[in-house]
Structure 1
Amino acid sequence: MLYYKLLYISVLLTSKVVSAAPSRHGHPQIQWGPCDPSVVNDTSLSCGFLDVPLDYHNPSVGNAHLAIVKANATGERRGSVLFNPGGPGDSGVSDLGILKELLLQLTGGVYDIISWDPRGVGTLTIPGEIFCFESLEEYTTFFNGTIELTGIEETGNFTDPADVDALLAEAPTMQKKYEELGKKCLNSPNGRYLEYIGTAAAVRDMISIANAIDGPDAPINYFGTSYGSLLGSWFVNMFPERVGRVIINGVPNPVTFATQKPSIYFAHQLVSADTIYKAMLTGCALAGPSACPAASEDDGPLDIDAKFQALLKAAHDAARAGSSVPLTSGQIRVALAGQMYAPAGWARFMNETYPQLVQIVNGESQGNSNDSLTRRSEGIARRSQPLKRTASNGSPSYSIHAITCGDAIDLHGVTMEEQFKGIIDTARNISHMFGASWPAPDYLCGFWPVRSVERYQGPFSKKLANKIIVASNVYDPVTPLAGAEAIASQLGEDAVLVRQNGFGHTTLATVSTCMNDLLAVYMVNGTLPANNTLCEVDKDFALFSGVNTEDILAHLPSADV
């Protein structure tokens, strides 16, 4: 799930038409209208709304109001494909505008693509985005002087006793803060809706949308990425008889998510993250100084890693010395984690952002900070923050928490000290580079005030009406291949696993004609590939000048970084 996704696009949609008239099959019908051209650039998209029960088991509670968007099929229409982009908390309305052409290609152009802002997302769906603070200033004042703003200071793989003691000493303060945060969220404008936000409700809403568009007897076609693939895993098991052509791509392990502590689940999501970090450094080393200035002549990936470790240590030591640092090692670590999602941005990061990081940290340590450095450090610090911000008041969204923690198992008696010990263990044993990235919403679920009124905990091995495709990169930083393998194993002959031999979050992170064609043929004709098919990334998809995925895979060091 995209906890370190650095680009979030707020949705401002002003379609005034709401669903009212019943369709021929007796379900509410969505009345499609134009989207506001000042905020939705693609005028071919249509927008509408659908009212659904807040609690499907207790309709007397009232209704939710879903904002929905549609991209029309480019060929002869065969029905609809519902799409969720992930998060949790990403806007389907916004992301469809960005991904329309790709999604139409991957589905053969014969379906309308339907997406929506799930509960807790955006400003038009009700309940909408969860904001627990009235301003950015209130948020920063509330967390002033804590790791919520600075990140966790540590070097190496979190074995320095001083770093361990410093983090554990923060536990009582942070537990109190997070308990107070939970109360603030419960008392926020959308706090009364928190128990009606979660994945089970999103699945039932998806069924309602499909019923309104294609009818209650039609198979439901679905494409979900990242958290959207978790939503898909729940869908195919909650409503196996409604499964049409379904692709889930970049897959969290649904069994672990539904049955284990969120902190344990999240820690195991990082098993490939350090390998992808090594891949980025390998690409830089292969490109050499002319295409990646971070590489000196004859540098290998371990030499470039040593430079990153020195950078982190310099920021860490300055903070430990009590200096007023423009960037902490924790903020640098989180900014770096975001790069693991999208290899297409590696060259730019290494050529532009990395030199800025070095200049900012060295400039501060030498007492030479200037306005330009300050502005750049503030920008990088903002981009390192994994929480979304809204244009209205600048305060962070807590929709990720509302969905993730609403779905979580009950965590009576968990302490922040216990959670911090889990962070230390993750940094030592799972991901040296990113195990201590903070803030991390999953670790706060023990202090979240409510759980969803409905949570699905399995089984995840239902017999499906149609076979589905489970897709994954071999190296994914937050939904590792093991998650896809787990759900494919659970579903047995009803799921076909396909792999892409590359890096990044979901197979959409890079370009593979093999994978894209395979998905399109399935959506158009229902033709399934052989189980465990391995697709290569296209050779002309360069990650650095003259360096592609195949080159990096051939030179990837096996030693730990």
Structure 2
Amino acid sequence: MKPLHALFYAATLLFESALGLRGGTAAQPDTTVQWSACDPSLGLDPMLQCGFFKVPLDYHNRFIGSAQLALVKANATQKRRGTVFMNPGGPGVSGVTDLNGTSALLLDQTGGYYDIVSWDPRGVGSLTVPGDVFCFDSLEDIQAFFNGTIELQGIEMTGNFTDAADIQALLAQAGTMQQKYEGLAQRCWQYSDGKYLQYIGTAATARDLAALADALDGPGSPVNYIGLSYGTILGSWFINMFPERVGHVVLDGVVDPIKFGTEDIALSGWGMQLSDADRVYEALFTGCALAGPEGCSIASAGQTPLDVNQDIQALLQAAHDAARANASVPTTSGQIRSLLREVMYSPNSWGLFANTVWPQLVQEVQAETGGNMTRRSTLRKPAENLGVPYSAEAIICGDSKDPTGANMTDVFNGIIATSNNISAMFGAAWPFATYYCPFWPIRAVERYEGPFNKSIAHSILVIGNTFDPATPFSGAKAVADELGNHAILVRLNGFGHTSQAEPSACISDIIRAYMVNGTLPQGDETVCEVDEDFEVFSGVNTSDIFRNMPAIDI
């Protein structure tokens, strides 16, 4: 657990004491925010400002008590017109930390006319209360609790999960993993913050957003908002809960809110999010082949993209076989797949992964197998981060539909079907937050379930990438179709998660015109290209990869 820095410690204790019933005073949102310099221990840009904001834990029962939100602001650089709020996604990603790296981009995309404000929503971070959800005291406790299970080792499979031995081995673990996840749920419920789980959720955060806008821009003011990834769920819920308050809203890397809110996401929702993931993987090995061994250590001289893919698959097969022979090997194919899935999000990291992490993985698997799979010089792989907080699980599961009675065998069968039909590379990536939901102890006190086609005060901008590993373009199109004339759809012809994954002057120009002048593109769908000078690998840009990608089944 991250320690609270001294400046905020006393304030946090005061807010914690107010979280239960305290007399007969009803909690109300703050009417103003006192901004000040951020504490240096946060390591933020000194140009940013920080503050706190008090809100009710439960807007429908304000006698329950108060929560506090940690805020961060980048001041407008032109004559201020108001505020643009930003949620970076996750869920569980700190808006306070994220704005530190994205403030320059967002100020540029909004013309400098707006303050950019982000925050750690309830359930996130060490300064918001209730903050990060902890179910264990340390990473070591998590490892001890899940020792010897797929939670740490990942799921072993090859091809598209059609080998009977792999299927049998996975299904044989269903009972153990169900007991573990049921035990985890009880730990989270009984832990110090467990009683606040029902107040962590997207509907409450949407109400927090409205209250923030009231305080910063005036009661009932239009709300300007940029939401990325999970932030598009928050955005979709907000614009339909408060349609009359919609200002300039950008949803980027879009999750279909209807699927999210109406399907059992442990069984089908997550799998559908992977519909473009294998195409992003194809982009990686295509770019690697184009770069050659000088730019990508996975490749050998003269290899085609399919040759590079075969080398990657060979390493996965070797790691799989080693784990089958010895369950205690330190590097499994399941772990490698999970790592690759994370790499797919950011094309600007592909070269670093290929030239530093991949050689180390090869060396580790070679040591397990005793085979001769030598590569060039190796560097140490970044430490695995299994994560101590269960914030993403708390938010996603708190928002999800009521339990349907699904058990772990059902979850595993869904993973097998996803691997067979949607994503051979990443369908079996484990763990993921949605898989906890059938066993999560409680749902949020308020959840928004639709409709998602309300008539909103202003048209919004909806952006999706051609190939996004986590939020396929179909999600952006679904939201745009639901809103009809109230949404304009833009596609970035690129890879990675959200349009921020690859730079595009076209995307920035469209957002800026919308935010500054209210101008939206014309037509059913506008297509932007990634900047030509952005190189995914040395000497290889996105358009090079598109021209050379093979259309294959992994």
TM-score normalised by the chain length of structure 1: 0.92
Deviation at 1:9, TM superposition (A): 10
Following superposition of structure 1 onto structure 2, how do residues 521-540 of structure 1 map, counting pairs within 5 Å?
Answer: 521-530=513-522, 531-540=524-533
Deviation at 1:188, TM superposition (A): 1.0
Matched residue pairs, number? Answer: 534
CA RMSD in angstroms, aligned pairs only:
2.2
Q: Show the counterpart of 1:364.
A: 368
Distance 2:433 2:42 in 1: 30
Q: Mind listing any 5+ residue stretches in structure 2 that lack a counterpart?
A: 16-28
Distance 1:27 1:354 in 2: 50
The one of 210, 213, 216 aligned to 1:210: 213
Q: Show the counterpart of 1:228.
A: 231
Say which SS state the counterpart of residue 543 (structure 1) adopts.
strand
Following superposition of structure 1 onto structure 2, how do residues 404-443 of structure 1 map, counting pairs within 5 Å?
Answer: 404-443=396-435
Distance 1:304 1:411 in 2: 43
Q: Show the counterpart of 2:22.
A: none
Partner AA of 2:437 in structure 1: C
User: Is the Cα contact below 8 Å between 1:132 and 1:184 reproduced in 2?
Assistant: yes
Q: Show the counterpart of 1:496.
A: 488
Say which SS state the counterpart of residue 117 (structure 2) adopts.
strand
| 1:452-498 deviations in Å (ceiling 9; x for gaps) | 00000100000010010001111100000000000000000000001
Distance 1:341 1:228 in 2: 16
Q: Show the counterpart of 2:181.
A: 178
Deviation at 1:215, TM superposition (A): 1.1
Deviation at 1:295, TM superposition (A): 1.6
Distance 1:17 1:407 in 2: 29
Q: Show the counterpart of 2:509.
A: 517
Q: Does 1:288 align with 2:281?
A: no
User: Is the Cα contact below 8 Å between 1:10 and 1:122 reproduced in 2?
Assistant: no
Deviation at 1:17, TM superposition (A): 7.8
| 1:495-552 deviations in Å (ceiling 9; x for gaps) | 0001100000000100111111111111011000124100011111111121111111
Q: Show the counterpart of 1:447.
A: 439
Deviation at 1:38, TM superposition (A): 2.8
Following superposition of structure 1 onto structure 2, how do residues 51-90 of structure 1 map, counting pairs within 5 Å?
Answer: 51-90=54-93
Q: Show the counterpart of 2:202.
A: 199
Q: Show the counterpart of 1:137.
A: 140
User: Is the Cα contact below 8 Å between 1:267 and 1:435 reproduced in 2?
Assistant: yes
| 1:311-339 deviations in Å (ceiling 9; x for gaps) | 01111111111253120111000111111
Q: Show the counterpart of 1:276.
A: 280
Partner AA of 2:547 in structure 1: A
Q: Show the counterpart of 1:477.
A: 469
Deviation at 1:364, TM superposition (A): 2.4
Q: Show the counterpart of 2:303.
A: 299
User: Is the Cα contact below 8 Å between 2:356 and 2:378 reproduced in 1?
Assistant: no
Q: Show the counterpart of 2:263.
A: 260
| 1:420-453 deviations in Å (ceiling 9; x for gaps) | 0001111111000000000111012000000000
User: Is the Cα contact below 8 Å between 1:326 and 1:374 reproduced in 2?
Assistant: no
Report which stretch shifted further, 11-20 or 495-504.
11-20
Report which stretch shifted further, 487-496 or 294-303.
294-303
The one of 153, 156, 159 aligned to 2:156: 153
Distance 1:49 1:97 in 2: 17
| 1:346-365 deviations in Å (ceiling 9; x for gaps) | 11111221111111100222
Gap change, CA 1:374 and 1:293, over 3 Å in 2: closer
Say which SS state the counterpart of residue 63 (structure 2) adopts.
helix
Q: Mind listing any 5+ residue stretches in structure 1 that lack a counterpart?
A: 1-7, 21-25, 389-395
Say which SS state the counterpart of residue 60 (structure 1) adopts.
coil
Deviation at 1:151, TM superposition (A): 0.5
Gap change, CA 1:142 and 1:61, over 3 Å in 2: same
User: Is the Cα contact below 8 Å between 1:253 and 1:487 reproduced in 2?
Assistant: yes
Distance 1:29 1:559 in 2: 56
Q: Does 1:121 align with 2:113?
A: no
| 1:62-120 deviations in Å (ceiling 9; x for gaps) | 11111111110011100000110000011011111111101101111100011110011
User: Is the Cα contact below 8 Å between 1:27 and 1:215 reproduced in 2?
Assistant: no
Say which SS state the counterpart of residue 258 (structure 2) adopts.
helix
Partner AA of 1:121 in structure 2: V
Gap change, CA 1:9 and 1:353, over 3 Å in 2: farther
User: Is the Cα contact below 8 Å between 1:17 and 1:33 reproduced in 2?
Assistant: no
Say which SS state the counterpart of residue 74 (structure 1) adopts.
coil
Partner AA of 2:275 in structure 1: V
Distance 1:138 1:433 in 2: 30
User: Is the Cα contact below 8 Å between 1:11 and 1:94 reproduced in 2?
Assistant: no
Distance 1:536 1:11 in 2: 43
Q: Does 1:547 align with 2:550?
A: no
| 1:41-80 deviations in Å (ceiling 9; x for gaps) | 3111111111111110111111111111111001110000
Aligned residues: percent identity? 55
User: Is the Cα contact below 8 Å between 1:291 and 1:544 reproduced in 2?
Assistant: yes
Q: Does 1:467 align with 2:459?
A: yes
TM-score normalised by the chain length of structure 2: 0.93
Q: Does 1:168 align with 2:161?
A: no
Q: Show the counterpart of 1:352.
A: 356
Deviation at 1:11, TM superposition (A): 8.6
User: Is the Cα contact below 8 Å between 1:17 and 1:32 reproduced in 2?
Assistant: no
